[in-house]
Amino acid sequence: MSHILSNFGKIHAAALGKVAVLLGGRSAEREISLLSGNGVLQALRARGVDAHAFDPAERALGELVRDGFSRCFIALHGRYGEDGTVQGALELLGIPYTGPGVMASSIAMDKVMTKRVWSAEGLPTPRYVCLAPDHQTHKQVLAVPDELGLPLIVKPPHEGSSIGVTKVKGYSQMQDAVRLSARYDPNVLCEEFIAGEEVTCPVLGHGAGARALPVIRIKAPEGAYDYQNKYFTDVVQYQCPSGLPAAEEREIQRIVLASYRALDCRGWGRADLMIRASDRKPFLLEMNTSPGMTGHSLVPMSARAAGISYEDLCVGVLALAALDYRPKERA
């Protein structure tokens, strides 16, 4: 196990200072963020960290400086928390934060830009069509299945937690799927459907020191790994250890690390993938740069398989808090 993972659990709480757990926020994923943030808050306090809840939807970020916070654990999901905006504000305030910096967060939040970067790096990701607002006529929408085949996936490129996602099985579903996605994002991402197994793999660290955690295999009823089943039911089965052949798991971890580094992520993240049943080839779907930390969340599950408790994971991620740019010392 790498140096970074073996040191989780050996971090002194007092050295972390006064910590703000950013939770809630204004995105469509507010409900999940509150669950994640409160879980993190309790875990940090259980380890003796001076941690406090801070909801940016209810308080101005400038209060972080006024109240003497020394670092932030970002437990926000979606827009205004995972997309580079709050990261940029914290850069200006000079307060280190968990997860990737401004550019990496912004790119990873945009699934189309992420796919462009991965494709440029030669990393496997499903074929796609992006429908801008002026390319969503009935004729243009119905042309998408001709290019990508059926079934296909329609989703908003700037949302997570399966919000606004439709699996389209026929031409007659396309227009409604596009309308649903456009409620959350003016651009609509249409993606080739990869028939096979869904897996996910977290990463901790930065650059050459980043390490992939164990792969998790996801088995949802009839493939319905949607918002409700992700967070509020127990019908989804998770396998960790994955039970995949060792060589297959290593290849997934290799691709995930390459995808993480290509986006210049740091701190932590979690990549979602599909393994095509026909040839066992893995395809990258997206990179989560502020992963969920609820009772149903996957990073804690994978960390536990690597010997890292939920509490130690929270403290370890917090200890990796950083800034893109160090503020200059005032004369």
Scanning the structure block, which residue is given the tokens 């039911």? 233
161 part of the active site: yes
66 part of the active site: no
Give the residue among 266, 263, 250 at the shortest CA–CA distance from 215: 250
From the candidates 29, 159, 311, 312, give the one annotated as an active-site residue: 29
Helix (H) or strand (E) holding 209: none
User: How far are the Cα atoms of 6, 268, 323 from residue 313, in angstroms, in the given order?
Assistant: 11, 10, 20
238 part of the active site: no
29 part of the active site: yes
User: How far are the Cα atoms of 129, 185, 186 from residue 135, in angstroms, in the given order?
Assistant: 11, 14, 11
Euclidean distance between CA atoms 155 and 38, whole angstroms? 28
Euclidean distance between CA atoms 123 and 259, whole angstroms? 7
Euclidean distance between CA atoms 321 and 267, whole angstroms? 7
From the candidates 286, 290, 310, 312, give the one annotated as an active-site residue: 286
Give the residue among 202, 198, 200, 199 at the shortest CA–CA distance from 265: 202
Give the residue among 195, 173, 182, 198 at the shortest CA–CA distance from 130: 182
67 part of the active site: no
Give the residue among 285, 287, 288 at the shortest CA–CA distance from 128: 285
Euclidean distance between CA atoms 128 and 242, whole angstroms? 28
270 part of the active site: yes
From the candidates 33, 106, 288, 290, give the one annotated as an active-site residue: 288
Contact between residue 74 and residue 99 where contact means Cβ atoms under 8 Å apart: yes
Euclidean distance between CA atoms 286 and 288, whole angstroms? 7
From the candidates 27, 36, 105, 161, give the one annotated as an active-site residue: 161
181 part of the active site: no
Euclidean distance between CA atoms 312 and 222, whole angstroms? 35
Half-sphere exposure of 4 (CA within 13 A, CB side): 21
From the candidates 259, 270, 290, 312, give the one annotated as an active-site residue: 270
329 part of the active site: no
Which residues form the catalytic set? 29, 161, 231, 270, 272, 286, 288, 292
